[in-house]
Amino acid sequence: MTGFIIARAGDIVERFAPRAVPNYQQAFAHGDALLTAHGIATPLRLAHFMAQVLHETGALTQLVENGRYSAKALGAIWDAGNWHGYFANRAACVQMADHCRRDEGVALFSLVYGGRLGNGSAATRDGWTYRGRGILQTTGRAAYATASVRHGVDFVGDPDLVTSAEHALKPALAQWSDRNCNAAADRNDLAGVTRLVNGGTVGLAERAAWFARIAAFTGVPAHFNS
């Protein structure tokens, strides 16, 4: 089973992520034991996991959360119901595009991730330092600290280790298991998996499109339950 699953994962990366960064290519090439240890041992679970991965990382091309938000993108995030607690109104949210253009998201992430997820206040810039990284976008000082203890790697001191070839799968798969994503995948509940991974359903249509493509490739029915 291990050979089957890791070969299929490698095939998915090769087929659907031809521009994947070398770190991620290597992580999947040598990740058979980790995938198996976390129960990703059926085509359906693999299809759900890889659909989330490809969405979260821009088809494995993105190492770190991109903070270069345009006014249009910020408006869409506001309209989706996100970040209402951090801005007085939609206009204030959209105006952050000026900061993003200048600092690539330092002010934005420091604000919207500040004071939560184990981060200090916006003034500490923890929200920027511990913004989303890696295969399932590990986010927040608390998540980096938990991964550090679990894997014996200093992700807090060197957050970019989350994206390294050696370690990239570890926090992502731990998150997948801790949130019981396999159970939602077994129900073929795409929205449920998305909520567990993302905390909401942002990008659900794109995740669904990835799932349909991967499902057809792996022989899983392309429909899902929700």
| Domains assigned to the chain | 2-63+163-218 (1.10.530.10), 71-129 (no CATH)
Residue 71: how many other CB atoms lie within 10 Å: 15
136's CB contacts (< 8 A; 6+ apart) are: 52, 53, 56, 171, 172, 175, 176, 197
- The answer, as to whether pTM is greater than 0.85, is yes
- Residue 224 has a pLDDT of 72
pLDDT at 218: 87
pLDDT tens track for 9-45: 888 999 999 999 999 999 998 888 899 899 999 999 9
